[in-house]
């Protein structure tokens, strides 16, 4: 074995054995690892894996296959958990206060500050520990799952965690791949297997993977014992769809591609078992490298809350500084009766500076309650309940067809939903259904298809015309095919003037794709598994035209052709697929090189019109012009277009090109770039066949939703890859753009730009384009200024395409673009890339400092979703990648109305009230202590008992503020949607401005003065039943009682709706105070702590207590009452006007919960509601988890409710520990 390892690269000596046979191997050998007797350090560019050789791989020290998704372990939990908690400034502040309270300068017992902080930390740490324990259990279940590993000439059942790089494994049907595997062999013919990638991207359609032909036979233990190979591949990375490497086997270098890689977490389907070599393990697998957390987002209100906390810090510092200066001035030996002692530094009249400094620390401890320790915990609890109980359970956002509820994936951004000013939306699958239907086509310059699209109907309505819709002659149209034109059906195309074009058109549809057929090979029963619904629609169209694709092998496509040679004749034709040049966002096209049974070599190509037209052969200008007109006509009808072309190849030219293609495919560095360059060599001199037009209908309720959001003051931008005409017409259909809007169009499709393009000078083109875009932006900006100056100018809309946008985003022009676009009510960006989507979103977010929301449904929308303040994913036809990267997930675009105008607005208003109320009650409480300081010579004497101070926030005022954060509602859901203008209050941040905070601060100062001076003044002449004057603790207990009662009643005054929960919480909090003080006053404590022993009993035995308890809160709240009445009468908020309009209408809706009464539900809604009430279980996932509802189908069957399967059912099943299967003999 060691001798084989030492000489495997070069045979005899110089390493020329491989290089002589394969030119690619010579290029690779110069940079790869060469082993002469021992393993050398690996090059950073790639890794080398020795198949079935643990000894050789052990020297490289690859990572193990055990995965851990936990945040902590036994040793790091306490230090790391505490570190996470003390990253919050408030917790760090209270830690400092707790430390200070343990020093001699503290006037209060350490328990006063240590206890609340300990409770907060304990609750947080228990929550962290529980979540981490569940992650640990899930990790253990996954790591202990078993798989067959080839060891000692036989299959050995081994736990996943013991798997090593280079091991040969066997995975059975419906099993999960335990690591990233190089696919060697399969029980299916031709070395193919079918996999399901639901755990990666949510897509349940099957994907095909093909092993290298040289390894097909290595399936049995006898053959595998002979298998010795070496894999050189890229280093671990998080790119799910790319893989470059070579398999060096039997002195040959075989190129590897993503087709040979089986990713961890995927499921094997329709295949008895496969054999593969482990390439990446554990945390180096692609799925684990993608399981990083979504970028952390903090709401704008939370950031402003930090500023408020800093303002409170400033107030606290000023209060303490004033007290410190006062103590330094006050302390004097003339107050001999105070018995100042020089031995106590804090009361040494001879050293006033030290007295002031020590008093500063004393007062910091005394006034610490001004910063509310329970604020963060209360706000987090409120947000969590808002998201899990209200948003997730709202039937108005439940999509019955797909059985998909709304899902709040984070609770941090609830209130951000109530302040969104800009929405960035994808089009396909977001505004439209992403259910593609073949609708029209153009073949050889002739248009076929008589249907009328939704956009054409909308266009006719705008112009006041009418379109008569003809009934389809095809009675039974299948999914994906909505074409009606008898000239092409049932072989009638043979009678057309261009039958050869028709034949090439249909063959291109049937051959140029990556679709997988499933089921019986009959047109009625076959099912197509396609990477996109467009591809499925095109293949379905070919089938209906008589070119039925029914079978695929790795090298051949089988098409059942009808009426080709003569009418009625059906023949099965195999087409050998020689090369597939795959589609990507850069190429925007897909090509297939195929060989006919008679030896004819043809390249079929389909793609965007812009890239196909660049590659057409010279001549045939009439066809090109006519087809371009048809493309514009289809685009105006809102249809998605693709151009089809072909090229006949000679065998010599193909062989020469194929050598270059194989070389590029074998390259380890820049493989994708080299493949694109090679593709350019053959994708030229194409012959145009025609174009297809596919309709993607608008989702239900999209126009009404956009119109409502626009009335709410939200500006909507559509970012799409469609052509300019298509994008504009979709915008019209969505009511995003209307005829009474002034439109500014900045397009690269102008004669001047085309003329420069034709010259072929890219540098000159770039310069000209930038100058053109600059001039256009200046012109538009000047026009905008003119419209803004007019009294009743129209609304403005901007349309810009991707090429112009690329230059407009240049640092020198982006400010001009931003200023221009901010004046527009609607913006449409067409022909944009995923990167440009994210750049536009970031431009508005960072440049305009406005709150943004991005919504999309596909993987190409992820960067845009993560770039916005709030990301919303549509759980649609393009998998779950957008949902997994989002903050909120909904099933339909129209649900944005409920998410923003109802839940978002309510959450914003509620959180604002919670924060400002916390600020008010803590400032009020602390200021009473501050006024007392002036009566004590600034000595730091406490006014309240330690336990009063500790429990004020934790018990006596905690519950009511949570209730208002959950159930307060200014207007109900129906009125929120009827008056979307109410949403503008959130955009303007009406409820959390500094003037609002200042008003609360004023009333806090006023009330604290009432509490302190009214109680003090009234107590001077007051006496208890034994004739003694009231002491300090009598007065402070009386004042504290007034504070508790007043702040709780003040909360009721700020409520818009008062429910039984408000009564219970407020009444319960006041009752809790009296129960506590009765018990506490009756307990005999040590002498130094017996401050309020029997105090409450003495107080309540006097008339003074009841008169003060009645009059002081009334006097304290009188000013608030007058202010609220004055504000509502003369300066009302918008919601208060709506309240007055509808004040006599009863509100029968459930407060804060579902807005639908069960009695009025339709049968579908009742079934949906029954599903929502079923018990659920959190999804246990494999390191890339997202929460989804539990096993509804099981619980539903128990409850007698029918539940359809969800798209992510498979992903949920994948997350559970499977039963070990009995090995087959």
Active site residues per annotation: 426
Q: Are 178 and 288 in contact (CB under 8 A)?
A: no
- Apex CA 966: angle with CA 953 and CA 375, to 5°? 30
For 601, half-sphere exposure in the C-beta direction (CA atoms, 13 angstrom radius) is: 13
Instruction: In whole angstroms, give the CA distance from residue 272 to residue 174.
Output: 9
Please report, to the nearest 10 degrees, the dihedral formed by the alpha carbons of residues 881, 883, 887, 889 taken in order.
Answer: 170
Per-position DSSP letters for 193-248, written without gaps between them: EEEE-HHHHS--SEEEEE--GGGTTTTSHHHHTT---EEEEEPP-S-TT---EEEE
Q: Which residue has the tokens 């673009």?
A: 817
Instruction: In whole angstroms, give the CA distance from residue 914 to residue 283.
Output: 42
Determine the distance from the C-alpha atom of residue 957 to the mean position of all C-alpha atoms in its chain, rounded to a whole number. 36
Q: What are the residues whose beta carbons fall under 8 Å from the beta carbon of 701, sequence distance 6 or more? A: 892, 893, 894
Q: Are 853 and 422 in contact (CB under 8 A)?
A: yes
Instruction: In whole angstroms, give the CA distance from residue 752 to residue 807.
Output: 16
Among 332, 493, 300, 501, smallest CA distance to 412 is for 300
**Dihedrals phi, psi of 578, to nearest 5 degrees:** -90, -40
In the numeric block, which tokens belong to residue 917? 């109320």
Q: Which residue has the tokens 């037209």?
A: 613
Pairing type for strands 46-50 and 146-151 reads: unpaired
Q: If you ran DSSP here, which 8-state letter would residue 43 be given?
A: P
Q: Are 112 and 950 in contact (CB under 8 A)?
A: yes
Q: What are the residues whose beta carbons fall under 8 Å from the beta carbon of 534, sequence distance 6 or more? A: 436, 640, 642, 694
Helices (H) and strands (E) in the chain, counts: 45, 33
Strands (E), 770-835: 796-801, 826-830
Instruction: In whole angstroms, give the CA distance from residue 48 to residue 33.
Output: 8
In the numeric block, which tokens belong to residue 94? 């209270």
Pairing type for strands 826-830 and 796-801 reads: parallel
**Dihedrals phi, psi of 612, to nearest 5 degrees:** -70, -45
Q: If you ran DSSP here, which 8-state letter would residue 368 be given?
A: G
**Dihedrals phi, psi of 691, to nearest 5 degrees:** -150, 155
Q: Which residue has the tokens 């909308």?
A: 458
First to last CA, the chain: 31
Return the number of other C-beta atoms located less than 10 Å from residue 672's C-beta: 14
Going from the C-alpha of 237 to that of each of 45, 47, 433, 670, 1214, the distances in angstroms are: 12, 12, 33, 15, 23
Instruction: In whole angstroms, give the CA distance from residue 345 to residue 339.
Output: 13
Rg of the chain on CA atoms, in Å: 37
The SS3 of residue 278 is: strand
């Amino acid at each position: 074995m060691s001798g084989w390892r030492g000489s495997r690269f070069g045979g005899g000596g110089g390493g020329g054995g491989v290089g002589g046979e394969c030119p690619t191997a010579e290029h690779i050998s110069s940079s790869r690892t060469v082993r002469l007797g021992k393993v050398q350090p690996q090059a950073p560019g790639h890794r080398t894996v020795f198949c079935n050789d643990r000894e050789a791989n052990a020297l490289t020290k690859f990572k193990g296959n055990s995965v851990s998704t936990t945040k902590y372990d036994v040793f790091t939990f306490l230090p790391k958990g505490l570190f996470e908690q003390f990253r919050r400034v408030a917790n760090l502040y209270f830690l400092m206060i707790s430390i200070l309270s343990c020093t001699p300068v503290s006037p209060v017992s350490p328990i006063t500050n240590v206890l609340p902080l300990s409770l907060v930390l304990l609750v947080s740490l228990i929550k962290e520990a529980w979540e981490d324990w569940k992650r640990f259990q899930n990790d253990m279940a996954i790591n202990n799952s078993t798989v067959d590993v080839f060891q000692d000439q036989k299959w050995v059942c081994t736990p996943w965690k013991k798997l090593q790089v280079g091991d040969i494994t066997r995975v059975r049907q419906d099993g999960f791949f335990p690591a990233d595997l190089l696919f060697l062999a399969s029980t299916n013919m031709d070395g193919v297997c079918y996999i399901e990638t639901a755990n990666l991207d949510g897509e349940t359609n099957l994907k095909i993977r093909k092993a290298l032909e040289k390894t097909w036979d290595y399936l049995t233990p006898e053959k595998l014992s002979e298998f010795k190979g070496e894999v050189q591949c890229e280093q671990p990375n998080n790119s799910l769809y790319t893989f470059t490497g070579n398999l060096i086997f039997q002195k040959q270098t075989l190129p590897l591609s993503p087709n040979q890689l089986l990713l961890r977490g995927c499921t094997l389907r329709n295949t008895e078992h496969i054999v593969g070599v482990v390439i990446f393990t554990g945390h180096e697998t692609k799925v684990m490298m993608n399981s990083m957390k979504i970028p952390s987002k903090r709401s704008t209100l939370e950031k402003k809350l930090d500023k408020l906390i800093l303002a409170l810090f400033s107030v606290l510092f000023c209060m303490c500084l004033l007290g410190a200066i006062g103590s330094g001035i006050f302390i004097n030996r003339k107050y001999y009766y105070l018995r100042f002692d020089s031995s106590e530094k804090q009361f040494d009249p001879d050293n006033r500076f030290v007295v002031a400094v020590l008093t500063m620390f004393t007062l910091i401890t005394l006034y610490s309650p001004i910063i509310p320790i329970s604020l963060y915990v209360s706000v987090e609890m409120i947000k969590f309940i808002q998201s899990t109980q209200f948003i997730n359970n709202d039937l108005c956002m439940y999509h019955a067809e797909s059985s998909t509820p709304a899902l709040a994936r984070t609770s941090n951004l609830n209130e951000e939903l109530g302040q969104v000013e800009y929405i960035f939306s994808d089009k396909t699958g977001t505004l439209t259904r992403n259910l593609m239907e073949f609708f029209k086509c153009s073949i050889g310059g002739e248009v076929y298809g008589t249907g009328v699209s939704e956009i054409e109907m909308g266009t006719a309505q705008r112009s006041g015309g009418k379109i008569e819709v003809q009934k389809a002659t095809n009675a039974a149209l299948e999914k994906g095919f909505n074409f009606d034109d008898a000239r092409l059906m049932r072989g009638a195309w043979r009678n057309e003037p261009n039958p050869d074009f028709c034949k090439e058109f249909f063959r291109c549809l049937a051959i140029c794709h990556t679709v997988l057929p499933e089921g019986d090979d009959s047109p009625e029963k076959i099912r197509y598994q396609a990477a996109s619904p467009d591809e499925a629609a095109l293949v379905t169209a070919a089938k209906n035209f008589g070119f039925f694709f029914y079978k695929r092998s790795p090298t051949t496509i089988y098409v059942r052709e009808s009426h080709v040679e003569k009418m009625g004749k059906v023949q099965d034709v195999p087409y050998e697929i020689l090369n597939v040049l795959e589609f990507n966002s850069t190429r925007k096209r897909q090509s297939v090189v195929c060989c006919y049974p008679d030896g004819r070599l043809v390249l079929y190509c389909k793609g965007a019109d812009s890239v196909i037209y660049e590659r057409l052969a010279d001549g045939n200008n009439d066809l090109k012009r006519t087809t371009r007109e048809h493309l514009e006509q289809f685009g105006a009808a809102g249809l998605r277009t693709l151009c089809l072309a072909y090229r006949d190849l000679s065998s010599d030219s193909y062989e020469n090109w194929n050598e270059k293609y194989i070389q590029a495919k074998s390259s380890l560095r820049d493989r994708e770039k080299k493949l694109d360059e090679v593709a350019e060599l053959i994708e030229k001199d194409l012959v145009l066949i025609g174009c297809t037009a596919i309709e993607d209908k608008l989702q239900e309720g999209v126009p009404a939703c956009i119109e409502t959001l626009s009335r709410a003051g939200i500006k909507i931008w559509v970012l799409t890859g469609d052509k300019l005409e298509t994008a504009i017409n979709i915008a019209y259909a969505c009511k995003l753009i209307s005829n009474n809007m002034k439109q500014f169009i900045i397009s690269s499709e102008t004669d001047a730009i085309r003329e420069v393009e034709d010259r072929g000078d890219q540098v000159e083109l770039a310069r000209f384009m930038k100058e053109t875009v600059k001039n256009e932006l200046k012109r538009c900006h000047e026009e905008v200024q003119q419209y803004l100056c007019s009294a009743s100018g129209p609304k403005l809309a901007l349309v810009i395409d991707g090429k112009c946008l690329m230059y407009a985003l240049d640092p020198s022009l982006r400010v001009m673009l931003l200023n221009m676009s901010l004046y527009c009510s609607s913006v449409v960006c067409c022909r944009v890339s995923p990167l440009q989507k994210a750049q536009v979103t970031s431009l508005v977010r960072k440049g305009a400092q406005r709150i943004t929301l991005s919504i999309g449904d596909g993987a190409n929308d992820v960067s845009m979703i993560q770039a916005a303040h709030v990301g919303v994913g549509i759980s649609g036809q393009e998998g779950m990648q957008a949902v997994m990267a989002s903050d909120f997930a909904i099933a339909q675009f129209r649900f944005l109305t409920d998410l923003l105008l109802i839940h978002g607005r309510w959450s914003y208003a509620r959180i604002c009230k919670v924060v400002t109320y916390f600020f008010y009650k803590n400032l009020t409480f602390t200021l009473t202590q501050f006024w007392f300081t002036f009566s004590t010579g600034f000595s730091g004497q406490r006014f309240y008992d330690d336990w009063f101070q500790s429990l004020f926030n934790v018990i006596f005022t905690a519950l009511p503020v949570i209730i208002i954060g959950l159930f307060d509602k200014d207007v109900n859901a129906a009125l929120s949607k009827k008056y979307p203008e109410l949403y503008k209050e959130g955009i303007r941040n009406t409820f959390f401005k500094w003037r609002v905070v200042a008003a609360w601060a004023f009333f806090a100062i006023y009330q604290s003065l009432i509490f302190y001076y009214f109680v003090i003044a009234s107590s001077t002449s007051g006496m208890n039943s034994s004739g003694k004057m009231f002491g300090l603790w009598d007065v402070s207990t009386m004042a504290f009682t007034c504070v508790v009662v007043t702040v709780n009643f003040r909360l009721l005054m700020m409520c818009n709706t008062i429910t039984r929960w408000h009564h219970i919480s407020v009444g319960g909090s006041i009752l809790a105070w009296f129960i506590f003080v009765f018990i506490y006053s009756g307990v005999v404590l040590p002498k130094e702590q017996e401050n309020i022993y029997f105090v409450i009993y003495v107080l309540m035995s006097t008339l003074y207590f009841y008169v003060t308890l009645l009059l002081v809160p009334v006097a304290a709240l009188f000013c608030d009452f007058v202010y609220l009445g004055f504000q509502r009468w003369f300066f009302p908020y918008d919601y208060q006007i709506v309240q007055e309009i509808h004040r006599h209408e009863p509100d029968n809706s459930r407060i804060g919960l579902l807005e639908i009464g069960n009695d009025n539900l339709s049968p579908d809604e009742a079934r949906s509601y029954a599903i929502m009430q079923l018990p659920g279980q959190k999804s246990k996932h494999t390191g890339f988890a997202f929460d989804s509802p539990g096993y509804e189908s099981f619980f539903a069957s128990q409850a007698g409710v029918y539940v359809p399967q969800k798209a992510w059912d498979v992903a949920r099943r994948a997350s559970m520990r499977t039963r070990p299967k009995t090995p087959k003999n």
